[in-house]
């Protein structure tokens, strides 16, 4: 579909996506409960920090970090790979392919349509942050907030493009869910979701810098907790968007090639 046509269809796609998000509100609530891991990690790390700070992290720093991790996870996570696997295996993708709109746009909008519900979910951590920490750790400049906004958007886009790459592999492998599980396991370890990347041993940290994981969660968290100066933050955001472009192009190539293999099961 042309860019103009796609843009014109966006409001209807958002409306339908939001209506579906509301229809699945019980499921959404259960999913939110399953994303409270950063709060569990805060309890564990704050117990460790009670004896002595870990690096520069004391109790307040860990609280800010893991509240930020919870918020960023809500803003960046999506499930396009699962959706794609399901639709390829069930043949449901056929119905999307019949429409003059690339299915990738539909999956992106459906994920984004859940955002209003997710913004509601992040209200409690934001209130907790303001009540306990006040404005501490938050960016103090417009540039700081701007870089956080870019970093959060980049985080979402990176997670989405990786999802598209992995999801598209289901057109070649029949199912790529195990690959997605492996990606998620690596994300939990290397993204900064459970442990701040800063606390990794130096050699491991050097490797993590060259992997996409930390740019999905760790970087937006570091930007929200004002961990970097403006120049360094801008450099890291540029690297993050570079990864987005890389996975975007890879996803496009895989999709174009993979769709030739689609077997449109059923019917």
Partner 1 sequence: MISVHGLKKHFRVHKRPPGLKAAVASLFSREYTTVKAVDGISFDIRPGERVGFLGPNGAGKTTTLKILSGLLYPSEGDVRVDGHLPQAREEAFLKKVMLVMGQKQQLLWDLPPAETFELNRAVYDVPREQFRKTLEELTQLLELGDLVNKPTRQLSLGERMKCELAAALIHRPKVLFLDEPTIGLDVSMQMVMRDFIKRYNEETGATLILTSHYMDDVAALCPRVVVIDKGQLSYDGSLDALVQRVRPEKRVVLHLGGPVERQQLESLGQVVSLEAGKAVLQVPQAGLSQALSRALAGLPVTDLNVENAPLEEVVSELFSRSRAAREAEAQA
Residue 236 CB neighbour total at 10 angstroms? 22
133 binds partner 1 (CB under 8 A): no
Per the structure block, which two tokens stand in for 88?
């390829």
Q: By CB under 8 A, is residue 267 in contact with partner 1?
A: yes
Q: Which of 98, 123, 131, 142 binds partner 1 (CB under 8 A)?
A: 98
199: DSSP letter: G
Q: Among residue numbers 72 through 91, which ones bind partner 1 (CB under 8 A)?
A: 91
Report the residue from 50, 56, 99, 257 that binds partner 1 according to the rule CB under 8 A.
99
Backbone angles phi and psi of 99, in degrees to 5 = -85, 145
CB closer to partner 1 out of 16 and 195: 16
Q: What distance in Å separates the CA atoms of residue 212 and residue 244, rounded to the nearest whole number?
A: 9
User: Which residue of 8, 56, 140, 235 would you call a contact of partner 1, by CB under 8 A?
Assistant: 8
User: Smallest gap, in angstroms, from Cβ of residue 62 to partner 1?
Assistant: 40
Beta partners for 54?
A: 57
Report CA-CA distances (Å) from 36 to 211, 259, 266: 25, 37, 39
**Cα end-to-end distance, the chain, whole Å:** 25
The verdict on 28 binding partner 1 (CB under 8 A) reads no
Long-range contacts at 114-118 (CB < 8 A, ≥ 24 apart): 114/17, 114/18, 114/21, 114/28, 115/75, 116/18, 116/21, 117/21, 117/22, 117/25, 117/28, 118/74, 118/75
Per rule CB under 8 A, is residue 3 in the interface with partner 1? no
Residue 124 binds partner 1, judged by CB under 8 A: no
Of 22 and 249, which has the nearer Cβ to partner 1? 22
- Nearer residue to partner 1 within complex by CB, 92 or 149: 92
| Region of 57 on the Ramachandran plot (φ > 0 left; ψ -120 to 50 alpha; else beta) | beta
Q: Should residue 264 be labelled a site residue for partner 1 when binding is judged by CB under 8 A?
A: yes
Distance CA 214, CA 190 (A): 6
- If one asks whether residue 249 binds partner 1 (CB under 8 A), the answer comes out as no
* Residue among 37, 39, 54, 101 that touches partner 1 (CB under 8 A): 101
Q: What residues from 178 to 237 belong to the interface with partner 1 (CB under 8 A)?
A: none
Q: How far apart are CA 74 and CA 115, in angstroms?
A: 8
Give least dist CB 33 to partner 1, A: 21
Distance of closest approach, residue 267 Cβ to partner 1, in angstroms: 4
Beta carbon nearer to partner 1, 178 or 260: 260
Report the interface residues with partner 1, using CB under 8 A: 1-2, 5, 8-9, 11-13, 15-16, 19-20, 23-24, 91-92, 94-95, 97-101, 260, 262-264, 266-267
């Amino acid at each position: 579909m042309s860019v103009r046509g796609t843009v014109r269809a966006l409001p209807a796609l958002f409306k339908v996506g939001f209506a579906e998000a509301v229809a699945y509100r019980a499921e959404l609530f259960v999913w939110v409960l399953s994303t409270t891991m950063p709060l569990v990690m805060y309890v564990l790390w704050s117990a460790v920090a009670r004896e002595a700070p870990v690096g520069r992290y004391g109790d307040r720093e860990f609280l800010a970090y893991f509240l930020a991790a919870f918020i960023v996870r809500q803003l960046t996570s999506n499930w396009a790979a699962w959706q794609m696997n399901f639709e390829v295996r069930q043949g449901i993708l056929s119905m999307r392919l019949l429409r003059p709109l690339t299915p990738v746009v539909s999956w992106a909008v459906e994920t984004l349509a859940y955002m209003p519900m997710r913004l509601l979910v992040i209200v409690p951590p934001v209130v907790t942050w303001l009540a306990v920490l006040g404005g501490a750790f938050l960016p103090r400049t417009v540039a700081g907030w701007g870089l956080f906004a870019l970093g959060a958007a980049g985080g979402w886009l990176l997670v989405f493009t990786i999802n598209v790459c992995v999801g598209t592999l289901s057109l070649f492998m029949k199912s790529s869910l195990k690959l997605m599980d492996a990606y998620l396991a690596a994300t939990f370890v290397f993204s900064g979701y459970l442990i701040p990347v800063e606390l990794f041993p130096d050699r491991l940290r050097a490797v993590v810098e060259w992997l996409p994981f930390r740019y999905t969660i760790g970087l937006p968290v570091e930007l929200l907790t004002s961990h970097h100066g403006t120049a360094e933050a801008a450099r890291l955001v540029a690297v993050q968007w570079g990864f987005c472009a890389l996975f975007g192009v890879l996803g496009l190539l895989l999709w174009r090639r993979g769709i030739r293999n689609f077997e449109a099961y059923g019917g």
